[in-house]
A and B are shown apart, each in its own frame.
Chain A
């Protein structure tokens, strides 16, 4: 009796180091410009080639502008990093390289699934912690450091200690106006940012089963924010019909063969996990964060905890955090004026997020004082936004679209929230300075972001 995780892990073991980690074979490696240059340099220093170039997909996304992408990148340091990325793709004969402006370019965790690179049963890595996103397809997907990127390029393998397993079940149905992002922020607020460290999580239960692939990706994406090595969901008909027909998905006979295998990818009845949590989906309301880590979240109508509610060792951090945010213990945030709204990132930059946002703002007008950055996760998402008529709805309501990339999620480019300003952001991290030095991030789902963009305040989208 095996868990889903065990089945995939065991199928990828090349060897085991005595008293040590497992040598794991990697089916798909995603690569971007920020965490890879030192890895390619490492290969050069050792005189090595890339072992399996066709198993690495390269896209420029982290350090790229979201306007005028057809022009040369202004910042010389960023440009040098992008040029280095291009040079590495050429020097090492990498066939799957998608530079700025390429129709397959976009945020790495968005273009992977969209193009069918991401498939059930795979092992997937990337020098980026949100690689956990791909677990939504029933894959073992996790973030790695640059030394490990070098290992994958050189040998298509990494050395990993087998993590423990955790199951998190969400019974019942989510309420109206409650999104996958809210479910994830709720879970992280319960488990804390270190609550799943050392574990690989499998999500289960009715609320998860009812989700679309986009929603499942949002949930798995945020697994890392509670410290988990990764998160995964057993593949089902929703998964198969999403994958079918995508460019790099198996075709014909190969499809049938794979599909038969994919259908076996579920946790066996009676298999056990090292830890289990059960939540009721109906307990969850739209969520926001008030502090400087994703575990500091609360229901939109709740109040920030009081100092007494925080355990003693954590009080210095709690006080620093609220000071940074310009907020006070015990207060409500509903009705608080905000300055920026960011819709995008690998958490909420998919087509469904734009549908949710557009549906809410339809026939309304953006608040004048709010700066809204709407950044599609990829050119494919951008195309769909236009084809589905969402672009017109957004324009009508006073919004415009930027070009794909990570953008204000980590603010490596010019999309920085000014110091002291409040941003309602659909991204995944509210760390100090994450969206620009001094920027104050309130994490939320696309619906809460839409409501804030319209009223200019923290607003419960259910009203």
Chain B
């Protein structure tokens, strides 16, 4: 897994609530047996017409908005446990998703793929939307070490929560499997003791 320490980037705004995993990556794209190529189908039904042409009114097709940070409305990632949603977000090139609320499994999956989910207050979120709307060049800085996110337009800074273990993993690019494999002896002991 890639390390994550700090990132400053312009953002892609998606001010919609309850964006579910079926919108992030529709089920018909789940037939793959590897993790590659999902970025092309991120938000497929909002992004493309039936004939494959792009829908001009969707934000990913608007050249004004670019960046490695996706900012989305409340309750992002609800629905299925498909990790394909996280692969699509990462595959498209997002390194951070900012929202005021995330669905559990999505957050877990994102973190397991080196994508940081940052929870901000509803007020901070709506201010980002306002600023980005007025000036698409508005950038955010996400600093994992200090657990802070800054709206560089206004200078407003907020602290965010992250589990200390997960933070270590991201900072060092380690994943959970490495950790669990190191515990094999203990697992066998647990099995015997039952």
* In the bound complex, CA of A433 to CA of B41 (Å): 14
Report yes or no: A63 in contact with B31, Cβ–Cβ below 8 A. Answer: yes
B85-129 CB contacts (< 8 Å) to partner A: 86, 101, 103-105, 108-109, 112-113, 122, 126
Report yes or no: A314 in contact with B17, Cβ–Cβ below 8 A. Answer: yes
B143-178 CB contacts (< 8 Å) to partner A: 163-166, 175-177
A51 surroundings in chain B (CB, below 8 A): 187
A143-178 CB contacts (< 8 Å) to partner B: 143-148, 150-151, 154-159, 161, 163
* Interface membership of B35, Cβ < 8 A: yes
A77 surroundings in chain B (CB, below 8 A): 31-32
Proximity bits, B49-74, A CB within 8 Å = 1, else 0: 01000000000000000000000011
Report yes or no: A193 in contact with B75, Cβ–Cβ below 8 A. Answer: yes
* Interface membership of A72, Cβ < 8 A: no
A158 surroundings in chain B (CB, below 8 A): 176, 180
Chain A minimum-CB-distance residue to B182:
A155
Contact of A411 among B20, B28, B179 (CB under 8 A): B28
* Interface membership of A401, Cβ < 8 A: no
B179 surroundings in chain A (CB, below 8 A): 17, 159
* Interface membership of B80, Cβ < 8 A: yes
The interface stretch among A19-27, A92-100, A205-213 is A19-27
A75 surroundings in chain B (CB, below 8 A): 31
Report yes or no: A431 in contact with B23, Cβ–Cβ below 8 A. Answer: yes
Interchain pairs with CB closer than 8 A, number: 184
* Interface membership of A129, Cβ < 8 A: yes
Report yes or no: A19 in contact with B165, Cβ–Cβ below 8 A. Answer: yes
Report yes or no: A148 in contact with B112, Cβ–Cβ below 8 A. Answer: yes
CB distance from B144 to the nearest CB of A (A): 16
Contact of B73 among A19, A128, A163, A317 (CB under 8 A): A317
Report yes or no: B83 in contact with A147, Cβ–Cβ below 8 A. Answer: yes
Chain A minimum-CB-distance residue to B126:
A313
CB distance from B74 to the nearest CB of A (A): 7
B184 surroundings in chain A (CB, below 8 A): 155
A17-B50 contact given A145-B86, A431-B22, CB 8 Å threshold: no
* In the bound complex, CA of A19 to CA of B169 (Å): 13
Report yes or no: B81 in contact with A198, Cβ–Cβ below 8 A. Answer: no
A80 surroundings in chain B (CB, below 8 A): 31, 33
A23-79 CB contacts (< 8 Å) to partner B: 23, 25, 34-35, 37-38, 41-42, 46, 48, 51, 62-63, 75, 77-78
Q: What class of interface size applies to chain A in its complex with B?
A: 35 or more
* In the bound complex, CA of A347 to CA of B56 (Å): 38
* In the bound complex, CA of A163 to CA of B186 (Å): 23
A108-139 CB contacts (< 8 Å) to partner B: 127-129, 131
Report yes or no: A14 in contact with B22, Cβ–Cβ below 8 A. Answer: no
Contacts beyond the supplied A129-B80, A411-B28: 18 A-B pairs with Cβ under 8 Å:
A14-B183, A14-B190, A20-B163, A23-B180, A34-B31, A41-B33, A41-B34, A42-B177, A46-B177, A51-B187, A78-B31, A81-B32, A81-B33, A144-B81, A146-B109, A148-B112, A157-B180, A412-B31
**Interface positions of A (Cβ within 8 A of B):** 14-15, 17-21, 23, 25, 34-35, 37-38, 41-42, 46, 48, 51, 62-63, 75, 77-78, 80-81, 84, 127-129, 131, 143-148, 150-151, 154-159, 161, 163, 193-194, 197-198, 227, 229, 293, 313-314, 316-317, 320, 410-412, 429, 431-434, 437
The 7 closest A-B CB pairs, nearest first, are A20-B165, A145-B83, A143-B81, A37-B33, A145-B109, A19-B164, A147-B112
Pick 29 A–B contacts, CB within 8 A, sort by A. A23-B183, A25-B190, A48-B181, A63-B30, A78-B31, A80-B33, A84-B33, A127-B83, A146-B83, A146-B109, A147-B109, A147-B112, A147-B177, A148-B108, A148-B176, A155-B183, A159-B176, A193-B75, A197-B104, A313-B126, A316-B17, A320-B16, A410-B22, A410-B80, A412-B27, A429-B20, A429-B79, A433-B22, A437-B50
